[in-house]
């Protein structure tokens, strides 16, 4: 399956200077150790999921922090028990960086449909036993589209299902996900985000996505996964 997106190329590995502090704290102060750990995890991930996002090292790209809303979200961390969800978090690099920059780990949830990503993320950052971020493998389309009826939760203790937190997230980040789907499925996805969101003043859904000025579809092998 790894041939679907071509062979791996370790020369594509890059860590921006601005991001080295995070990787030093999260993996190792030794840049060679960081590089080798990332390459080892990339190989394992690519064997199971031979996608361009793995080949291009997108799983270690700190893209969330480049969003203009990001600093506002981080500044709010710890206030009002605000829960923060990264939907489609892959290996959880962005949410771990959010913790590095000050958001309480106990108020963050990372979720992805590919459970293997979550497992490899814990191996990459060596925090299976120590990490306080809640990671939940889930298909968001399995959630009902209707508004929640249960009370809002202020913590993730004991939570095992994403829908247990319906109506509880003050902040939701969703990056490079919408463009996978048709217009109808995008609408269905948006309804699930609204189900998870608190819908209260100050609550924010933010993200980034690939798009075109003209309506249409990209061939799958040209999509930015």
Q: How many CB atoms lie within 10 A of CB 157?
A: 8
Contacts 24+ apart (CB under 8 A), 147-153: 147/194, 147/195, 148/195, 152/198, 153/83
Residue 152: count other Cβ atoms within 10 Å of its Cβ. Answer: 16
pLDDT in tens, 59-93: 999 999 999 999 999 999 988 889 999 999 999 99
- In whole angstroms, what is the distance from residue 139 CA to residue 158 CA? 19
The candidate with the shortest Cα–Cα distance to 29, out of 92, 37, 105, 132, is: 37
- Residue 216 CB partners (closer than 8 Å, separation 6+): none
Lowest-pLDDT choice from 46-50, 128-132, 140-144, 216-220: 216-220
**Domains of the chain, each with CATH number or no CATH:** 2-60 (no CATH), 64-208 (3.40.50.150)
Q: To which H or E segment does residue 206 belong?
A: strand 204-208
Place of tokens 């920059």: 101
User: Does the pLDDT at position 20 exceed 50?
Assistant: yes
Mean pLDDT score across all residues of the chain:
91
pLDDT at 94: 98
Classify burial at 63, counting beta carbons within 10 Å of its beta carbon; exposed 0-12, middle 13-18, buried 19 or more. Answer: middle
| 94, 86 contact by CB (below 8 A) | yes
**In this structure, what token pair is assigned to residue 225?**
């996964």
The answer to whether 38 and 13 have CB atoms below 8 angstroms apart is yes
């Amino acid at each position: 399956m790894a041939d679907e997106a071509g062979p791996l190329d370790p020369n594509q590995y890059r860590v921006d200077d601005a991001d080295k502090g995070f990787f030093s704290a999260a993996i190792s102060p030794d840049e060679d150790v960081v590089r080798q750990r990332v390459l080892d995890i990339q190989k394992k991930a690519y064997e199971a999921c031979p996608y361009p996002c793995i080949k291009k090292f997108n799983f270690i790209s700190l893209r969330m922090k480049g969003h203009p809303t990001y600093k506002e979200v981080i500044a709010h961390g710890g206030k009002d028990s605000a829960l923060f969800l990264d939907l489609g978090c892959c290996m959880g690099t962005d949410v771990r960086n959010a913790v590095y920059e000050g958001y309480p780990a106990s108020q963050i949830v990372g979720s992805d449909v590919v459970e293997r990503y979550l497992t490899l993320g814990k191996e990459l950052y060596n925090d299976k036993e120590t990490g306080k971020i809640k990671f939940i493998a889930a298909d968001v389309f399995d959630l009902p589209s209707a508004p929640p009826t249960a009370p809002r939760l202020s913590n993730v203790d004991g939570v095992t299902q994403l829908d247990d937190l319906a109506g509880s997230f003050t902040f939701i980040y969703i990056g490079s996900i919408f463009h996978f789907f048709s217009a109808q499925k995008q609408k269905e996805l948006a309804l699930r985000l609204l189900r998870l969101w608190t819908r209260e003043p100050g609550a924010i859904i933010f993200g980034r996505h690939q798009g075109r000025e003209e309506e249409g579809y990209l061939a799958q092998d040209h999509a930015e996964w």
